[in-house]
Amino acid sequence: MSISQTQSAIPTLAAFEDAAAFLDGVISRTPIDASQHLSDLVGVPVHLKLENLQRTGSFKIRGAAYRLSRLTAEERARGVVAASAGNHAQGVALAAQELGISATIFMPLGVPVPKLLATRGYGADVILEGATVETPLRLAAEFAERTGAVFIHPFDHPDIIAGQGTLGLELWDEVPDLDTVVISIGGGGLIAGVAAALKARAAAAGRSIRIIGVQAENSAAYPSSLEAGQPLTVSTRPTIADGIAVARPGDLPFEIIRELVDEVVTVTEDDIARALLVLLERAKQVVEPAGAVGVAAMLAGKITPQGTTVTVLSGGNIDPLLLQRVVAHGLAASGRYMSLRIPLPDRPGQLARVSELLSQAGANVIEVLHTRHGQGLQISEVILQLSVETRGEEHRAHVISVLEGAGFTATVVRD
């Protein structure tokens, strides 16, 4: 696509303002929260845009509601169909319910239970198929072809991008000295809209704003696509950030992102888990993994914010069971929790000795398993498996050093 074609594909400032006018009263104007912890860490003022507190628990209601509002009466009568790992599904389902439109939603198997129940609770007919969102996308397109229902793409449509871009207008109004925005990327609709809206406002004011995108390393289609100059389908691996697990960029978002986004970085699963833990402890915010990747990038040193910075917490729809596992993983990744495997001679006093050493080292024992069963054990050996709480990487290393100094072999068991 040429530069002129790319520019014509970018929604105008008037389109974003029209979307904002429609959404006034439909969505919540979510708060901005200053983060002293992140500000101290990166050396510039950092604010959090709390879209995890948005209606339906994510930014997706913005694009979905605006897209459905622009359907004709004939299109509304045919109903809508969508595919989503959860957040777009909820946005479409709620918008359809409020506009009196029937909605069918295809979702992947294994979708987080809260997202599934919420989507059904908004009155949509939900069909579960496929391991990733690509299968539901294909099935939704086939359903639209077969039934005449209007397919509501999660990110690859101008109205979706215009709706998501209203978040950028809010940032402009709420953070007057804004310099940098950090946003998660899945298919690209959110960052495309925010980048286009903000840069249009900034250009009119004679200013510049830096836009940084973040993807989960296990599902990062944009870095290779941007390098190739066209959207590519990549092989993905499982990620806790299911909300941004998209194997191929959207065509329209890709063109906008290539033109307007300054940098795209990736973060690991450990990075994301640490970010969720920091947000819980320091910001008191429950955020889903996909919504925490911007914070993850800051904590991991993957980006260098310049000037006043906002990172968007794009969603908060996390399964409580996943949250429990992620918190444990985040504690381990932060050096505050570890599981140890220690072989012991099968004689009295050994467990007491290990407990005494751990007490001296200041480690808190959370769980203990003492067993004579295990591969490679001698008849005269037992295995002690311990879960202990520590105070960081240095303390964890000290605990292991104390055990090894007393003649024990302590092996850290990874997740």
Helix, coil or strand: residue 252: helix
Round to whole Å and give the CA distance between 307 and 304. 10
CB atoms within 10 A of CB 322: 17
The catalytic residue among 60, 115, 199, 302 is 60
The per-residue DSSP string of 54-104 comes to SGGGBTHHHHHHHHHHTS-HHHHHH-EEEE-SSHHHHHHHHHHHHHT--EE
CB contact at 8 A, 397 and 356:
no
CB contact at 8 A, 246 and 189:
no
**Is residue 199 among the annotated active site residues?**
no
**Is residue 184 among the annotated active site residues?**
no
Dihedral angle computed from the Cα positions of residues 72, 76, 78 and 81, in that order, rounded to the nearest 10 degrees: 110
What single letter denotes the amino acid at residue 83?
Answer: A
CB contact at 8 A, 312 and 296:
no
CB contact at 8 A, 190 and 167:
yes
Residue labelled with tokens 């969505």? 27
CB contact at 8 A, 149 and 68:
no
Residue labelled with tokens 């507190």? 53
Q: Is 227 exposed, middle or buried (0-12, 13-18, 19+ CB in 10 A)?
A: exposed
Round to whole Å and give the CA distance between 386 and 114. 33
Per-residue tokens: 184: 């998660």
CB atoms within 10 A of CB 83: 29
The catalytic residue among 58, 314, 334, 339 is 314
Round to whole Å and give the CA distance between 45 and 236. 34
135: which residues sit within 8 A by CB, 6+ positions away? 106, 108, 129
Per-residue tokens: 34: 């200053």
At residue 322's C-alpha, the angle toward residues 317 and 323, to 5°, is 70
CB contact at 8 A, 184 and 290:
yes
CB contact at 8 A, 108 and 135:
yes
Q: Which residues are marked as active site?
A: 60, 314
